[in-house]
Amino acid sequence: MCLAVPMKITGIDGFNATCEAKGIQREVSLFMLQGEPVAIGDHVLIHVGYAIQKISAEEPALPGTCSTKCSSMHELAICQALIEQVQRVARDNAARRVISVTVSVGPLSGVEAKLLEHAYPLAAAGTVAEHAQLVVVTVPVRVRCRTCKAESEAAANRLLCGSCNDWHVDVIAGEEMLLQRVEIETADEPVH
Amino acid sequence: MCRDCGCSLGPAAARAPFAAQPATKGRIESIEVITAILDENDRVATHNRAHFDGHGVLAVNLMSSPGSGKTSLLEATIKALQGELKVAVIEGDLATENDAARIRACGVPAIQITTGNACHLDAQMVHDALDDLPLDGLDVLFVENVGNLVCPASFDLGVHRNLTLLSVPEGDDKPAKYPVMFRGADLALITKVDLLPHIEEFSVGRARDSLREVGFRGDIIELTRRGGPGFEAWLGWLRSEVAARRAAAA
Ligand SMILES: Nc1nc2c(ncn2[C@@H]2O[C@H](COP(=O)(O)OP(=O)(O)OP(=O)(O)O)[C@@H](O)[C@H]2O)c(=O)[nH]1
Ligand SMILES: [Mg+2]
Ligand SMILES: [Zn+2]
Ligand SMILES: [Zn+2]
Ligand SMILES: [Zn+2]
């Protein structure tokens, strides 16, 4: 789906790095390379702002394709938004830790539950929700027919009425991407 | 900081580090929340739309797989509308400056988004780009999204219209494979139809059926950047959208 471009690291500041290729400078994140140490002068593959892989300097400077890392980055962005919300809830309720986070996701939201679960620990690292369990409830697509008024389940790429096959339908479920519930432990009851 | 309205929508705030708490026993609570996970993006998107509306500018987001012809369509459109509509472009190609350079060569301003760290644009990136782009006097602002049929679909940018391009070489089954992207569009463009004689596997009828089956309800225009009736129909769509924006702003 997406292209990855080889660049050379010219500076490192925590999880952020400056990279250079063909005279172009870019700020990139080293977030996806945790566990793979990199240094100034190393060559890395950059996929739209993230260094995703260390490569040798001899590798041809041709853009490579990336699909798995790309989709998990999409879900990472969504998990980061989710963690922002969870942190707000935790703060408002004086939580000392978050035990679980329940989200509901429909196939028409464009997000894959599996990838969300994969990306969650990365986004939650270092936050109050770090060890929280992520519960993803998947909601099936449901449509209501404008012609025969029937309600039925449908596939994301075949939004047709289950009883009369008409495509004049309204989607009534399956688009959601919601934070449903946050289970927390509060600090206001010390041990006796 | 938004120069235009003085709003304080700066770049996303850094996450506060979490300090570990002493190991006392607390109370367990379950808190019902029920908010859209991307509500912060949606809030910024609404804010962007207010910017566009305040200036009577039509904002249009172009989405497609890599290479479906987004930049080529913009180049041809800018040339065709020279002297008629004032156009600017926000370029979402995060890896190179190529597309922005191509747009600038057509004589219109192009802002390259460089702050992104994902495979899609979000509302905040568009808002940041607006800092460098005066909207006064503009008729149309195009946003060329990152070439990708998956990720951009989840993020409202605050534009008025979303367009999805499907090029003939990609195959007519793309709507069925990427339903979310096509379903959310207001207009679908089947591009590179000059190649139809060479690619007999592509059936425009099947592409249209597939679009209907994923719930796409907008207009479908078949075109090539080389001009012709489809390209004129696209310009006509754009002109009527601009007129509607102006009427709404008046
Ligand atoms: N035959 C034909 N080729 C086209 C047409 N439009 C674009 N192309 C070619 O398709 C290729 C990709 O076009 P671009 O306009 O760069 O596509 P894009 O969607 O902007 O690509 P990315 O920004 O990389 O995702 C180029 O080689 C164009 O010359 C068309 O109408 N007909
Ligand atoms: Mg392009
Ligand atoms: Zn991607
Ligand atoms: Zn029916
Ligand atoms: Zn603003």
Checking if the pLDDT of A59 tops 80, the result is no
Identify which of A48, A96, A99 has the shortest CB distance to residue B119: A48
Identify which of B35, B65, B118 has the shortest CB distance to residue A85: B35
The pLDDT mean for chain B works out to 89
Residue window 51-70, chain A: list those with CB within 8 Å of chain B: 63, 70
Residue nearest to atom 9 of ligand 1 (CA): B69
The pair of three-digit structure tokens given for residue A72, joined into one six-digit string = 């998990």
A123 Cβ under 8 Å from any chain B Cβ? no
The mean-pLDDT minimum among A139-148, B155-164, B190-199, B241-250 falls in: B241-250
**Residues of CATH 2.30.30.140 domain(s) within chain A?**
5-71
pLDDT (0 to 100) of residue B46: 97
- Architecture label for domain A5-71: Roll (2.30)
Query: In chain B, which residues have their Cβ closer than 8 Å to the Cβ of A157?
Result: 175-177, 179, 210, 213-214
pLDDT (0 to 100) of residue B137: 92
pLDDT (0 to 100) of residue A179: 97
The pair of three-digit structure tokens given for residue A180, joined into one six-digit string = 């449903």
pLDDT (0 to 100) of residue B22: 52
Query: In chain B, which residues have their Cβ closer than 8 Å to the Cβ of A69?
Result: none
Q: What is the mean pLDDT of residues B194-216?
A: 96
| CA gap B97, B31 in Å, rounded | 46
A134 Cβ under 8 Å from any chain B Cβ? no
- C-alpha distances in Å from residue A93, one per residue of A103, A170, B30, B200: 19, 38, 10, 62
| CA gap B87, B84 in Å, rounded | 10
Which of B15-29, B61-75, B102-116, B122-136 tops mean pLDDT?
Answer: B61-75
The number of the ligand nearest the C-alpha atom of B66 reads 1
Name the residue in chain B with its Cα closest to that of A109. Answer: B154
Residue A163's pLDDT band, with cuts at 50, 70 and 90, is very high
pLDDT (0 to 100) of residue A146: 96
Residue B12's pLDDT band, with cuts at 50, 70 and 90, is very low
Checking if the pLDDT of B174 tops 50, the result is yes
pLDDT (0 to 100) of residue A187: 74
A169 Cβ under 8 Å from any chain B Cβ? yes
CB contact under 8 A, A63 and B97: no
Checking if the pLDDT of A188 tops 80, the result is no
Give the domains, in start order, of chain B with CATH numbers.
48-249 (3.40.50.300)
Checking if the pLDDT of A100 tops 60, the result is yes
Identity (one letter) of the amino acid at B138?
A: L
Helix, strand, coil shares of chain B, percent, nearest 5, are 35, 20, 45
Residue B115's pLDDT band, with cuts at 50, 70 and 90, is low
Residue A65's pLDDT band, with cuts at 50, 70 and 90, is very low
**Residues of CATH 3.30.2320.50 domain(s) within chain A?**
74-139+175-186
Please, which residues have CB within 8 angstroms of residue B166's CB and are 6 or more apart in sequence? B64, B68, B172, B174, B175, B182, B188, B189, B190, B191, B207
Give which of B24, B30, B33 to mutate to test A binding, by max A Cβ within 10 Å.
B33
Q: Give B114 to chain A, closest Cα distance, Å.
A: 8
| CA gap A110, A107 in Å, rounded | 6
Q: Give A164 to chain B, closest Cα distance, Å.
A: 14
Which DSSP letter does residue B30 get?
E
The number of the ligand nearest the C-alpha atom of B166 reads 1
Q: What is the mean pLDDT of residues B20-48?
A: 86
Q: Give B69 to chain A, closest Cα distance, Å.
A: 15
Residue B20's pLDDT band, with cuts at 50, 70 and 90, is low
| CA gap B8, B3 in Å, rounded | 9
Residue nearest to atom 4 of ligand 1 (CA): B192
Query: In chain B, which residues have their Cβ closer than 8 Å to the Cβ of A74?
Result: 118-120, 150-151, 154
Q: Tell the residue number behind the tokens 């195959």, with chain if given.
A: B171
Q: Which atom of ligand 1 is nearest to the CA of B98?
A: 23
Checking if the pLDDT of A66 tops 50, the result is no
Q: Which atom of ligand 1 is nearest to the CA of B225?
A: 31
**3 state SS of B42:** helix
| CA gap B85, B137 in Å, rounded | 10
Q: What number does CATH give the domain A74-139+175-186?
A: 3.30.2320.50
Residues with beta carbon inside 6 Å of ligand 1? Answer: B 64, 66-72, 93, 99, 147, 191-192, 194-195, 224-225
Q: Give A58 to chain B, closest Cα distance, Å.
A: 20
The mean-pLDDT minimum among A26-30, A130-134, B78-82, B177-181 falls in: A26-30
Q: What is the mean pLDDT of residues B191-204?
A: 97
pLDDT (0 to 100) of residue B34: 92
CB A49 within 8 A of CB A31: no
CB contact under 8 A, B36 and A159: no
Identify which of B31, B122, B149 has the shortest CB distance to residue A181: B31
| CA gap B97, B163 in Å, rounded | 22
pLDDT (0 to 100) of residue B117: 52
Bridging pattern class, strands B87-91 and B161-167:
unpaired
